[in-house]
Amino acid sequence: MDATAQKFYAVRAGFKPGIYLTWPECQAQTSGFRGATYKSFPTRQEAELFVAGKDPNPGVKKADKFYAVAVGSKPGIYTDWAEAQLAYMGVKGPKYRKFETRAEAENYMRTFAKYGQAKFVVEGLEDEEQQEEEYGDEAPYFEVEEPAKKKTKTAPLTPAPTTSLDGGIINVYTDGSSLSNGRAGAAAGVGVYFGKGDPRNVSERLQGEPQTNQRAELTAILRALQAVGPASDLRIVSDSKYAISCVTEWYANWERNGWATRDGPVKNQDLVKAVRAAIGERDRRGARTLFQWVKGHAATAGNVAADQLAVLGAKKRS
């Protein structure tokens, strides 16, 4: 390919999605944006399709990718990115990487097998360019903010702000609770906390079946979105990596695969679809929807309050 040929840089997820004609312009919209999704194309038409979330080359069969999880809760080689994430989610210092061939993935697994499950090796992506190279359009489309540093169990509770200094964004804490989760007779509750005495706070029994913690967590996020106008910037703070991943990352693959996995239909897809629809409406209004993960039952007053509301909701009659 002619190195001087015009490239079209498509930014699907960034500070300002769109098509840019130079790499510096593209970089300005993606550098520092967690989960930025971008790619260069030789034609504007392909770039426009990519930005719109469509396949620029629908007639080209995509080669299988192999995701090797060397250190995680379930080490192994996966061909589905969502399944690979579940295999290391929640593990401190996971070790994983994407490969073009199974042989490369197997070699990677053998290289780190000597560490065993008792030791953890930290590996991170060096920059946004490598993240795009590693994960392409399977990278998260929305910002998921991690706390800057962990707080000790003995630390005083951090106040729960309802707004922050970054543009007056609304902060809301969500949580789900399920008494006897996974067993017959389980009772789940939903908690949403905007602030002390805020009329938008929610404490309710989870409707429908099954009465699981995961459904309660997703419902809490949905209730938070429903309580805030679609034109207002919102940050949802949750201690559920599962719920956050469902609505910011995994949904994209599930949509492409018809909401089915090798084990059957995607669980809780009704709630994931409802949350995504609400976020889509907010996108059309130009409102930001951010997610922040916090450690459950940690020294964050808002998370503790949301948990209490969820537990109270679980104790209510259905």
pLDDT tens column, 235-291? 999 999 999 999 998 998 899 999 998 888 999 999 999 999 999 998 888 888 999
**How would you classify the pairing of strands 144-145 and 170-179?**
unpaired
Which of 26-40, 117-131, 282-296 has the least mean pLDDT?
A: 117-131
Q: Identify the burial level of 3 via C-beta atoms within 10 angstroms of its C-beta, where 0-12 means exposed, 13-18 middle and 19 or more buried.
A: exposed
Residue 182 has pLDDT above 70, yes or no: yes
**Looking at the domain that runs over 8-51, which CATH code has it been given?**
3.40.970.10
Which of 118-122, 272-276, 307-311 has the least mean pLDDT?
A: 118-122
Domain 144-314 annotated CATH 3.30.420.10 = yes
- Among candidates 233, 229, 207, which has minimal Cα distance to 218? 207
Rounded CA-CA distance 68/107 in Å is 10
Q: Is the pTM of this model over 0.85?
A: no
**How would you classify the pairing of strands 76-78 and 234-238?**
unpaired
Which of 34-48, 60-74, 250-264 has the least mean pLDDT?
A: 60-74
Residue 117 has pLDDT above 60, yes or no: no
Residue 155 has pLDDT above 70, yes or no: no
